Chains A and B, each alone.
Chain A
Amino acid sequence: AQKVTQAQTEISVVEKEDVTLDCVYETRDTTYYLFWYKQPPSGELVFLIRRNSFDEQNEISGRYSWNFQKSTSSFNFTITASQVVDSAVYFCALSELTSGSRLTFGEGTQLTVNP
């Protein structure tokens, strides 16, 4: 069965600090997909990134970067030079090829960036 664990319930940083949000997943499939979503205080879910299991190349998008390591079943998310607007709940999610299109979400990490 698929499972996503985000061990960090809450993280608080000061603006301009770098912060890494951890995500560890469990799956029996060899083909799977990993996602990160941002949920700001307004409540909507904003898509950030999708990664498939065959692509372990790390990705950078502006201040955001993602580190995918199959050896440790982790898909960590780093925000560089954090800003107050980054304050949100961040969810890591997994879908497996054999379990249809459902997304299994982690518990989420509440990130607070203080000025």
Chain B
Amino acid sequence: EPEVTQTPSHQVTQMGQEVILRCVPISNHLYFYWYRQILGQKVEFLVSFYNNEISEKSEIFDDQFSVERPDGSNFTLKIRSTKLEDSAMYFCASSEDSRGIYGYTFGSGTRLTVV
């Protein structure tokens, strides 16, 4: 079963530091996403990415966040200057199409702790 791979599984960083969360989507998928889940809360959409550009972003995805597909396989989320409230589980997801006809496949997540 193809899967979305995220690294690292857990990252601890100091407030103000930059972090890069990495994802390898399923190889034949064209649409990529980042979601976050603050501990004990619901999963929230951050951004979607298609054809090397952002197709949609939420209010949460401010100037501190950026996404990139630096090569043919990786998809990254960068947080420029982390804040305590950025502590959350970050999920990468991918889909074959924009409507998720076959579902959106999520990775196992990266737990980011900002201290």
Interface residues of A (CB under 8 A from B): 33, 35, 37, 42-47, 50, 91, 93, 95, 97, 99-108
What are 7 contact pairs spanning A and B, CB under 8 A?
A: A43-B108, A45-B93, A50-B100, A50-B102, A93-B43, A97-B99, A103-B104
User: How far, in whole Å, are A1 and B89 apart by their CA atoms in the complex?
Assistant: 25
Q: Which residue of A lies closest to B50 (CB)?
A: A101
Q: Find out whether the CB atom of B95 lies under 8 angstroms from the CB atom of A107.
A: no
Closest-CB distance, A33 to chain B (whole angstroms)? 6
User: How far, in whole Å, are A23 and B42 apart by their CA atoms in the complex?
Assistant: 14
| B-chain residues with CB within 8 Å of residue A103 when the two chains form the complex | 35, 43, 45, 100, 104
| A-chain residues with CB within 8 Å of residue B42 when the two chains form the complex | 91, 105-108
State whether the Cβ of B87 lies closer than 8 Å to any Cβ in chain A: no
Closest-CB distance, A18 to chain B (whole angstroms)? 25
Known contacts A43-B109, A44-B108, A105-B44: does B103 contact A100 (CB below 8 Å)?
A: no
Residues 6-17 of chain B, each 1 if its beta carbon lies under 8 Å from chain A, else 0: 000000000000
| A-chain residues with CB within 8 Å of residue B111 when the two chains form the complex | 43
Interface size on B, residues (CB 8 A): 29
| A-chain residues with CB within 8 Å of residue B33 when the two chains form the complex | 101-102
Closest-CB distance, A49 to chain B (whole angstroms)? 8
Q: Find out whether the CB atom of A47 lies under 8 angstroms from the CB atom of B105.
A: yes
State whether the Cβ of B98 lies closer than 8 Å to any Cβ in chain A: yes
Q: Find out whether the CB atom of B89 lies under 8 angstroms from the CB atom of A91.
A: no
| B-chain residues with CB within 8 Å of residue A46 when the two chains form the complex | 106
| B-chain residues with CB within 8 Å of residue A33 when the two chains form the complex | 99-100
Q: Which residue of B lies closest to A99 (CB)?
A: B56
Residues 85-98 of chain B, each 1 if its beta carbon lies under 8 Å from chain A, else 0: 00001010101001
Closest-CB distance, B115 to chain A (whole angstroms)? 20
Known contacts A91-B43, A107-B42: does B100 contact A101 (CB below 8 Å)?
A: yes
